[in-house]
């Protein structure tokens, strides 16, 4: 079933922020909280510090009316810098690959900072773009159902 959620980026305090939101909304996390160290490593990819490995890669918390907050820690060691424009993203999870590709093509037309659609280790076709109006969009079409 299609879903829209809000994705929040933090500079190392995602876990603290989500503990606060969990208390405020009185809800429980969805699925498994993933840390950077839980992801398969690409031998040609970057090397993470011990501190980076325990940072949050992905977390989900329902808030109200079925809306879900998702979050991640940006990594200073990877050159990430938190600023207005990259701290909040609208996450789209369409029902079909075709709809994902259609939405991505339309929203990325004239866009900056495009991360093309590609298969990811969490079982999804994923991509992102900052549309021509400065709104960040993320796309996740799950060909494997998330746990």
Confidence of residue 145 (pLDDT cuts 50, 70, 90): low
DSSP per-residue codes, 102-133: HHHHHHHTT-EEEEEEEEETTTEEEEEEE-TT
What value does the CA radius of gyration of the chain take, rounded to a whole number of Å? 15
- CB of 7 within 8 A of CB of 39? no
SS3 59: strand
Q: Would you say residue 87 has pLDDT above 70?
A: yes
| Mean pLDDT (whole number) for 126-141 | 88
Confidence of residue 147 (pLDDT cuts 50, 70, 90): low
Q: How confident is the model at residue 101, as a pLDDT?
A: 96
Query: 3-142: which CATH topology?
Result: 2,3-Dihydroxybiphenyl 1,2-Dioxygenase; domain 1 (3.10.180)
Smallest CA-to-CA distance from 117 within 139, 94, 146, 90 is with 139
- All structural domains of the chain with their residue ranges: 3-142
Model-level pTM greater than 0.85?
Answer: no
Instruction: Report strand pairing: 34-35 vs 56-62.
Output: antiparallel
């Amino acid at each position: 079933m299609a879903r829209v959620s809000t994705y929040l980026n933090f500079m190392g305090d995602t876990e603290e922020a989500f503990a606060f939101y969990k208390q405020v909304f009185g809800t429980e996390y969805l699925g498994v909280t993933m840390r950077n160290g839980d992801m398969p490593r690409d031998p040609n990819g970057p090397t993470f510090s011990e501190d980076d490995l325990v940072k949050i890669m992905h977390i989900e918390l329902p808030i109200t009316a079925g809306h879900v907050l998702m979050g991640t820690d940006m990594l200073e060691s990877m050159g990430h810098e938190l600023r207005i424009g990259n701290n909040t993203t609208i996450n789209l999870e369409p029902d079909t690959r075709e709809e994902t590709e259609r939405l991505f093509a339309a929203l990325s037309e004239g866009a900056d900072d495009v991360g093309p659609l590609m298969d990811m280790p969490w079982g999804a076709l994923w991509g992102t773009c900052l549309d021509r109006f400065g709104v960040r969009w993320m796309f996740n079409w799950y060909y494997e159902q998330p746990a």
